């Protein structure tokens, strides 16, 4: 019988670095010759991805699967929560929408999800040599412990050794590690086999005495101190990153304003623009807008609510003023819906408003429908003007996640979808206005297509009279994962981690 090893990474807080640590370990184990897969039973994130089978999972598990060198599947994240309000969320089970529910009711619902979670992990254990499991938040949230399905309950069910990660950059890491262990039950503490200090800046010898104290106080070995890094380009999971991201130090000739909507989703769509050297600014207030060369309305989990926010904040007026003066605007998914004349919601899928006026920059109308569209796509560029000049017939790939259908008989279609994982496809996506300056599409990931991105940016340069075209840079993800693995391997006691897994 195959003996699969499991290892779980938990953290003392959210954003302690669990996701990146799992990605690093997946890469290290792969480099060492193992078939390895990531797993997170329950994820709460607005950054999501569509797998080849058409299921929606958290973006972090996709990154971890890439680090492991495998295709992501819904088993790697069987339960995904996408917040719709401060107290409610959409629940996605094995890639498909199960229900929209309040936070209070969700925790009454979790026991029924435990079998789904368990079966997903068992399928991974049957297919891989090692499964690296990620926890969520903190295992010491005593108000949630009775019904949680992502931390110690999973560790106990599968007798999985746990490594506890603490973030020293935020301060209080020693108290948080000691306090977390103190709040665990005895059998839970037994499963914690080592501690990791993450995001350290400076000379590690300055904290050696504190590490020794930590070992003596908790009885747990400190398996390493991982440095804070900025120079490894790996997609981040949560919009918390947007609060902590360093000021964009790019000195490129193009300035791009991404509107930071309250329910912004899939903002990693725009990482490649920063990699090209563009000055990408996430704008949440009117005074932050400046005079960008391009405005992007990103995806959102709550189109109607975020459209109302644009109007309240004055950002809608700012966008319209610049668009009418000639500044190009791109809308993706929910941002595309906002650009239209109106949004119709007769079934009240998203709000109590059955009709909402859009920004009116595109002559399209969106109808919300109850069924969610989730699919990977291959497409051709149809248009040949403005932002899309010189790209007609060019092939690109992306993915769709939306609950609306957008229609127009007057505006030029932007893309032709030619293939999905289910086979040959034949439908259009997106539109572009007659001047070629306003573009809307449902496709996430379009800027990850190197030729498309670079041509669009060069079209922008030509439009603004900024000189000749530039080739730009192309991100080599494998090299970035290898850099991450090298950093973490050099920081952790990997022989001891292997011994922990064997035991």
- The full set of domain ranges for the chain reads 5-233+480-502, 248-474
- For this structure, is 278 an active site residue? no
Which stretches of 91-207 are DSSP H helices? 103-127, 152-157, 173-183, 186-191
Which pLDDT does position 369 carry in this prediction? 86
* CATH 3.40.50.300 is right for the domain spanning 5-233+480-502: yes
Question: What is the number of residues in the chain?
Answer: 503
Neighbours of 143 (CB within 10 A): 8
Q: What is the pLDDT of residue 474?
A: 75
**pLDDT by residue (tens digit) across 43-77?**
998 889 999 999 999 999 999 999 999 999 999 99
Q: Name 493's Cβ contacts closer than 8 Å, sequence gap at least 6.
A: 221, 223, 224
Q: Please tell me if the domain spanning 5-233+480-502 has the same topology as the one spanning 248-474.
A: yes
Going by their DSSP bridges, the two strands 88-93 and 96-102 should be labelled as antiparallel
* Cα–Cα distance, 73 to 53 (Å, whole number): 8
* Catalytic residue (one of 263, 293, 444, 448): 444
Sign of CA pseudo-dihedral 122, 124, 129, 130: negative
Active site residue 333: yes
Structure tokens at 60: 């972090």
Residue 350: the pLDDT is 75
Whole-angstrom distance, CA of residue 132 vs CA of residue 135: 10
The catalytic position among 26, 89, 278, 333 is 333
- Torsion, Cα 196 198 202 205, to 10 degrees, reads 0
d(C-alpha 318, C-alpha 332), whole Å: 18
Q: Which residues of the chain have pLDDT under 70?
A: 1-2, 237-251, 468-473
Q: Does the predicted TM-score (pTM) go above 0.85? A: yes
Give the position of tokens 């037994």.
Answer: 190
Residue ranges with strand state E in 230-364: 255-259, 264-265, 279-283, 294-297, 299-300, 329-332, 342-344, 355-357
pLDDT 10s digits, 146-199: 889 999 999 999 999 999 999 999 889 999 999 999 999 999 999 999 999 999
Topology adopted by domain 248-474: Rossmann fold (3.40.50)
Residue 439 has phi, psi (to 5 degrees) of -125, 135
Q: What is the pLDDT of residue 18?
A: 95
Rounded CA-CA distance 348/325 in Å is 35
Nearest to 429 by CA among 373, 498, 379, 478: 379
Query: How confident is the model at residue 152, as a pLDDT?
Result: 96
Residue partners of 125: CB distance under 8 A and separation at least 6: 4, 6, 131
Q: Considering only CA atoms, give the Rg of the chain.
A: 23
Q: Of 28, 179, 92, whose CA–CA distance to 493 is shortest?
A: 28
């Amino acid at each position: 019988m195959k003996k699969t090893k499991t290892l779980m990474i938990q953290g003392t807080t959210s954003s302690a670095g669990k996701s990146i640590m799992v990605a690093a370990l997946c890469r290290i184990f792969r480099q060492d010759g193992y078939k390895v897969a990531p797993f997170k039973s329950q994820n709460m994130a607005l950054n999501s991805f569509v797998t080849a089978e058409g299921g929606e999972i958290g973006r972090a598990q996709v990154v971890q699967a890439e680090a492991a060198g495998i295709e992501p599947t819904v088993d790697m994240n069987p339960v995904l929560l996408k917040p719709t309000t401060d107290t409610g969320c959409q629940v996605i089970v094995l890639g498909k929408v199960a229900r929209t529910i309040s936070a209070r009711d969700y925790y009454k619902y979790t026991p029924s999800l435990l079998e789904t979670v368990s079966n997903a992990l068992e399928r991974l254990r049957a297919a891989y040599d090692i499964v690296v499991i990620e926890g969520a938040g903190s295992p010491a949230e005593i108000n949630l412990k009775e019904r949680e399905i992502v931390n110690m309950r999973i560790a106990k069910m599968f007798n999985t050794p746990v490594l506890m990660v603490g973030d020293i950059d935020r301060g209080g890491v020693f108290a948080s590690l000691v306090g977390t262990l103190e709040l665990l039950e005895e059998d839970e503490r037994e499963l914690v086999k080592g501690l990791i200090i993450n995001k350290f800046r400076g000379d590690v010898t300055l904290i050696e005495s504190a590490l020794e104290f930590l070992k003596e106080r908790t009885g747990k070995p400190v398996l390493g101190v991982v440095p804070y890094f900025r120079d490894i380009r790996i997609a981040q999971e949560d919009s918390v990153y947007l609060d902590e991201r360093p000021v964009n130090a790019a000195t490129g000739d193009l300035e791009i304003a991404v509107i930071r909507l309250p329910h912004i989703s899939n903002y990693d769509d725009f990482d490649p623009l920063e990699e090209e050297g563009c000055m990408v600014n996430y704008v949440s207030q009117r005074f932050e807008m400046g005079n960008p060369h391009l405005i992007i309305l990103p995806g959102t989990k709550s189109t109607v609510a975020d459209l109302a926010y644009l109007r309240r904040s004055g950002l809608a007026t700012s966008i319209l003023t610049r668009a009418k003066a000639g500044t190009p605007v791109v809308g993706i998914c929910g941002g595309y819906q906002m650009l239209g004349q109106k949004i119709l919601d007769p079934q009240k899928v998203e709000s109590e408003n059955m009709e909402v006026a859009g920004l009116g920059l595109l002559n399209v109308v969106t109808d919300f429908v109850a069924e969610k569209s989730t699919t990977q796509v291959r497409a051709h560029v149809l248009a040949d003007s403005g932002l899309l000049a010189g790209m007609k017939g060019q092939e690109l790939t992306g993915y769709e996640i939306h609950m609306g259908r957008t229609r127009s008989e007057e505006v030029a279609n932007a893309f032709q979808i030619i293939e999905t994982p289910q086979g040959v496809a034949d439908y259009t996506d997106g539109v572009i206005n007659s001047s070629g300056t306003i573009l809307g599409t449902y496709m996430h990931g379009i800027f990850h297509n190197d030729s498309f991105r670079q041509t669009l940016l060069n079209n922008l340069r030509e439009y603004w009279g900024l000189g000749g075209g530039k080739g730009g840079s192309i991100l080599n993800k494998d090299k970035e994962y290898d850099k991450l693995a090298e950093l973490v391997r050099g920081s952790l006691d990997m022989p001891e981690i292997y011994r922990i897994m064997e035991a």
